[in-house]
Amino acid sequence: MECYSAQSQPDHWRYVFGDRWTFAVEMECEVTPPRHATWGTIWMWVDGSVVGNTNRWEHLGIGARWLYTIGEQIDKRPNRIFAGLSPSARLDAFLWWYRECEGVCPVDGWSPEEGLDPDDYLVSEVNSGPVLDDWRVIIAREEDKEILTWRYKDNGETYEFELQAGYFLDVCSSAYLFLKANEPEVL
């Protein structure tokens, strides 16, 4: 997968991996090429919409490695546990499960499958993490597709988009390997 790069400001460089109209990882930093220790902004594009914080400085190497690791472990996230749920119900059920089933499940009749771990479904940490702070993003695998479901914070509108199986990993590994090639001893 190719990387598109451009100078977005006199002292800022922007790198895009993937296709913004399908799925992409984008980052911006003050140096070219970026280094693992570089701070910058990193976010995703899903179906032409930004998912993430385009103005919050984060550690690029940690963020790219986090997304890459999620892509590598996609098979640990079967979608069958969310079968038949709307995107909003899917995320509500997941958040209840992630928060250790506190209170009553907001989705009638739903319960997590034994042996699965909610952490495996996370693309962004619920409170804060290496990337996408304040976003609720999960991914699940179903046969030949990967389903991303997301919203901003806990009460925003919920969206869902299907990717061809393997595309998430292809894009995220391109971003990670690009950073790794520029400072391999740290990554």
Query: CA nearest 16: which of 138, 172, 151?
Result: 172
Higher local confidence (pLDDT), 125 or 57: 57
CB-count exposure of residue 63 (10 Å: 0-12, 13-18, 19+) = buried
Within a 10 A sphere around the Cβ of 112, how many other Cβ atoms?
16
What's the predicted TM-score (pTM) here? 0.85
CA angle 69, 71, 75 (to 5 degrees): 110
- In the chain the beta strands, taken as DSSP E runs, fall at 3-9, 12-19, 23-29, 39-46, 49-51, 58-59, 135-142, 145-152, 159-164
Q: Is the pLDDT of residue 125 over 80?
A: no
Instruction: Give the model confidence (pLDDT) of 133-175 as tens digits.
Output: 778 889 999 989 999 999 987 678 999 999 999 999 999 999 8
Q: Is the pLDDT of residue 19 over 90?
A: yes
- For the chain, what are the domain ranges? 3-182
Instruction: Give the model confidence (pLDDT) of 76-121 as tens digits.
Output: 888 999 999 999 999 999 989 988 888 889 999 999 888 888 888 8
Indicate the angle between helix axes 60-72 and 167-182, nearest 10 degrees. Answer: 140
Give SS3 for 175.
helix
Instruction: Give the model confidence (pLDDT) of 164-180 as tens digits.
Output: 999 999 999 998 888 88
3-class secondary structure per residue, 41-65: EEEEEECCEEECCCCCCEEHHHHHH
Span 52-63, mean pLDDT? 83
Which two three-digit tokens encode residue 17?
């991996």
Residues of the chain above pLDDT 70, percent: 83
pLDDT score for 162: 96
Q: How confident is the model at residue 187 (pLDDT cuts 50, 70, 90)?
A: very low
* Residue 138 CB contacts under 8 Å (≥ 6 apart), including other chains: 77, 90, 91, 94, 121, 122, 123, 148, 149, 150
